[in-house]
Structure 1
Amino acid sequence: MKTVLVIEDDIGIQKQLKWSLPDYELVFAQDRASALTQLRRYEPEVVTLDLGLPPDPANASEGLACLHEILTLQPGCKVIVVTGSNDNEHALKAIALGAYDYYQKPIDTAVLTVILDRAFKLSQLEIENKALRAANLNNADIIGNSDAMAKACRTVEKIAPTEITTLLLGESGTGKEVFARAIHRQSPRNNKAFVAINCASIPENLLESELFGYEKGAFTGANKTTLGKIECANGGTLLLDEIGDMPLSLQAKMLRFLQERVIERVGGRQEIEVDVRVICATHRNLAEMVTEQSFREDLYYRISEITLLIPPLRQRGHDIVVIAKALLNKFNHEFNTQIQGFTESAMQAMLQYNWPGNIRELQNKLKSAVILAESKYISAEDIGLSEQHSKTDTLRKVREQAETGAIRHAYTLANGNLSKTADALGITRPTLYALIDKYRLHDLRSIEAET
């Protein structure tokens, strides 16, 4: 349910709005101080603001000051100001300061509902446009602006110009090869070959010859000398996908290649120098495999000079909808269809679903939905999602767990000092107090009071 912060000191109007706007989760504030507290707590996309706030209800000075602080803290917030019937001057001034829209008392909930719906739609469009702008030319296939993806893209930009061996970790379907190609495109080798080999898809007895090549007559059927994937990538980039599935017997030869940058073809005796950048990827836990002695420790440290963790789709928030819309455009072109978008229930279902197959699963569900949909808008049923497919925890619950854990961890490292805790979290002390109150972490304040 969409959250609206209502800044209104009239209790009667608060009750009227709560009764007449059942499709929204309303949170209330009665003055500037409580409004800013609620803004930090809920981070709403849309706010309604009565300009006549105490201690100066007869004028708009307090309301305009509140508007300025809201937009300073949350520039993308859509603020709808409320004015008296003859107060056009203050309404226009609020619009000039950055308010999204205004309406005049007495309140007509039908009109207000239309304004709220438009504000939320505009907010979502801005979020999606920001995500698309964030996908620059070098990362054209990486779509999203979640914090996790922004961090991953910044890492790509830093490591791409170097020759450092990179290990990409992530669940199946998260787009590890997409990231590998992004590193290649931004590297000095971008005009050379990008060669990928999946170590899990090739039988063990053939993998060595696929990687290193073979000489004529090396084995039955070897009718000519054949270059391996490593030589084919000479001058460019080699992706060793699912390296966690590489047989232990082949790992020693791979380690020598990575250290010496020379190979010997199967059946050959000559050392061949190869200039290639290596990127490795896997969904396996290599550290555990090292402990279990199913993966060489020296090879593990050699391929993980830099480790890039790619987040699963379920941890990418609104990126899910942005990716879905990009895929919809792609499939419309591919299948010559004209699906215009998704229903609200479909978008909510996508945001709540756990996506165990990640982007690959999203692609498959949308591809079939585009072909089979009987409406211009894809529904939750079209993509095979319904109430029972939703994950147990809401996004708000997940956020609460993450923020609570971060606060307690920082508090422990700060030895119970709330000022140092706030500094470690990158927030102000009042914001920390607001979070403590929000999540009822009152034991933290109690401990501080005792000390």
Structure 2
Amino acid sequence: MSINNILVADDEESMRWVLSKALRKKGFNVELARDGNEALRLIKENVYDLALLDIKMPGMTGLELLDRVKEERSDLFVVIMTAEASMKNAVEAMKRGAYDYLTKPFDLGVIDAVVEKVSRAREMTSQVSLLKEELKDRYQLEKTIIGNSPAMREVYKTIGKVAPSDVTVLVQGESGTGKELIARAIHYNSKRLGKPFIPLNCAAIPKELLESELFGFEKGAFTGATERKLGKFEQANGGTIFLDEIGDMPLDLQAKILRVLQEREITRTGGNQSIPVDVRVVAATNQDLEESVHNKQFREDLYYRLNVIPIHLVPLRDRKEDVPLLVQYFLTKICAELEVPQKRCSADAIKLLTNYSWPGNIRELENTIKRGVILSPDPLLVASDFPGLRNRQSEGKGEELSLEGIVDLKLRGCFSNMEKMESGDVHAMVLEQVERPLIRFVLEKTRGNQVRAADILGINRNTLRKKITELGIELRKE
């Protein structure tokens, strides 16, 4: 973005004349002001790309004018000129927002250099602004988070309210419901736009490595630490860190996360220096953290620190009216990614997709649509292009369902009437009915070897023996 219009404000007529002549010779439009009040009037009435302001003028000084300029036109580049080359003036000018500071007398080559420098800075500022707008446009809610159901409209409202602030947000929902998309939408609609968004899946990293991933480490902190490494919190400085599946974080590490939230500083592994960090935290989990707090598996104080603003994402099966919108979105997106002609779904296919329970939520729907686009040669996808769904929804085809899908269907069948469910016994009853066939199956596969069965189940042998007795499991006799 080049410079066109320049304002020169100086009480010395000779300085105004010299600067205007030199700048007009270069092709710039130049306007002149004798004092600060006249300069302010012109700035209010016209649009300038650069203002050259003398620091000492009658009525309003250049520094006072600079303050008013920043109120009226924060994007205007201002260069302060003065005959008094004092450090105090230079520091004060830059502190108040001046782009540069020139000491009189100066030759015209200095002005040329300053104008060129401002021109480059304006170009860079313009590019950054465009990038921010592109990012913001990319993460506009209606373009990335699809749905018009009442539940999703409430989510949109909450994002709109919390995004501009730095408040901590806890996103809760089943796997595949789009928790990271919500976190990104919060970041890209906040004042931290243009700063880093750093995601970390706490469940995907081994517990012994998670701390150094979060906080980094110093050289020599442990075997293999041949150089210093910055952790996710430092990488996210100025931006947002997204802690996905935080419910899987070990208790000792939860205490350190709590300290970061309270003190806004971290300490690298193997280091002893506190490092300040300016980071917004958005956390997510597919677990019931209240239940985890009750079971002493999650710190209560950390839970309340994270749960300042909760956002709950309902599973796709509870907002089926959004499925046709999601299908159309994924068809457009996937066809573009695969560079194939645009495809669409028949009414029967839409009905099939809408009626399916989607235990894997939006992620499963996207993968299903992608599979249909790839395997079908026709521009119109019909119900038969999704044979897996037809099998899973047909009677007698339960073997096609995932374990989670089977449990989901069975629970819905058993407890279709909430009024028939008695308080306090459902959790234990369901666990017992799942545990019994699981332990029986593993014992059969290990030919009754309890040591091996306990190892496979991830429990100790005494616990296994106790459960065999409690659940009335008959042991195989060789």
- Who is 1:267 aligned against? 270
Deviations along 1:2-39, one digit per CA (max 9) or x if unpaired, are xxxxxxxxxxxxxxxxxxxxxxxxxxxxxxxxxxxxxx
Secondary structure of 1:196's partner?
strand
- Is contact 1:212-1:264 (8 Å) kept? yes
Mark the CA change 1:191 to 1:339 in structure 2 (over 3 Å): closer, same or farther.
closer
- Who is 1:283 aligned against? 286
User: Which is further off, 168-177 or 310-319?
Assistant: 310-319
1:184, 1:205 → 2: CA distance?
A: 29
- Who is 1:305 aligned against? 308
The answer on 1:389 being equivalent to 2:393 is yes
Based on CA coordinates, which of the two structures has the bigger radius of gyration? 2
Give 1:345's match in structure 2, choosing from 339, 342, 348: 348
Identity %: 50
TM-score by length of 2: 0.53
The answer on 1:161 being equivalent to 2:164 is yes
- Who is 1:329 aligned against? 332
Count of aligned positions = 265
- Who is 2:254 aligned against? 251
Give 1:205's match in structure 2, choosing from 204, 208, 229: 208
2:139, 2:375 → 1: CA distance?
A: 33
> How far off its partner does 1:163 sit?
1.2
Deviations along 1:220-257, one digit per CA (max 9) or x if unpaired, are 11111110000000000000000000011211111111
TM-score by length of 1: 0.56
Mark the CA change 1:190 to 1:291 in structure 2 (over 3 Å): closer, same or farther.
same
Give 1:315's match in structure 2, choosing from 313, 318, 322: 318
- Who is 2:244 aligned against? 241
* Pairing 1:2-13 to 2, within 5 Å after superposition: none
1:144, 1:286 → 2: CA distance?
A: 26
- Who is 2:376 aligned against? 373
Mark the CA change 1:342 to 1:255 in structure 2 (over 3 Å): closer, same or farther.
same
> How far off its partner does 1:138 sit?
4.8
One-letter amino acid matched to 1:168: V
- Alpha-carbon RMSD: 2.5
* Pairing 1:4-403 to 2, within 5 Å after superposition: 137-383=140-386, 384-386=388-390, 388-389=392-393
1:139, 1:229 → 2: CA distance?
A: 29
Deviations along 1:164-189, one digit per CA (max 9) or x if unpaired, are 11000000000000000000011100
- Who is 2:22 aligned against? none
> How far off its partner does 1:146 sit?
0.9
Secondary structure of 2:385's partner?
coil
1:136, 1:153 → 2: CA distance?
A: 12
Secondary structure of 2:383's partner?
coil
> How far off its partner does 1:193 sit?
0.5
1:234, 1:387 → 2: CA distance?
A: 49
- Who is 1:124 aligned against? none
Which ranges in structure 1 are unaligned for 5 or more consecutive residues?
A: 1-134, 406-451
> How far off its partner does 1:327 sit?
0.7
Mark the CA change 1:258 to 1:139 in structure 2 (over 3 Å): closer, same or farther.
farther
> How far off its partner does 1:139 sit?
4.7
- Is contact 2:173-2:179 (8 Å) kept? yes
- Is contact 1:166-1:279 (8 Å) kept? yes
One-letter amino acid matched to 1:215: E
> How far off its partner does 1:339 sit?
4.6
Deviations along 1:351-401, one digit per CA (max 9) or x if unpaired, are 1100000010011111111010132211223123227527999xxx9xxx9
Which ranges in structure 2 are unaligned for 5 or more consecutive residues?
A: 1-137, 395-404, 420-478
> How far off its partner does 1:274 sit?
0.4
- Is contact 1:138-1:186 (8 Å) kept? no
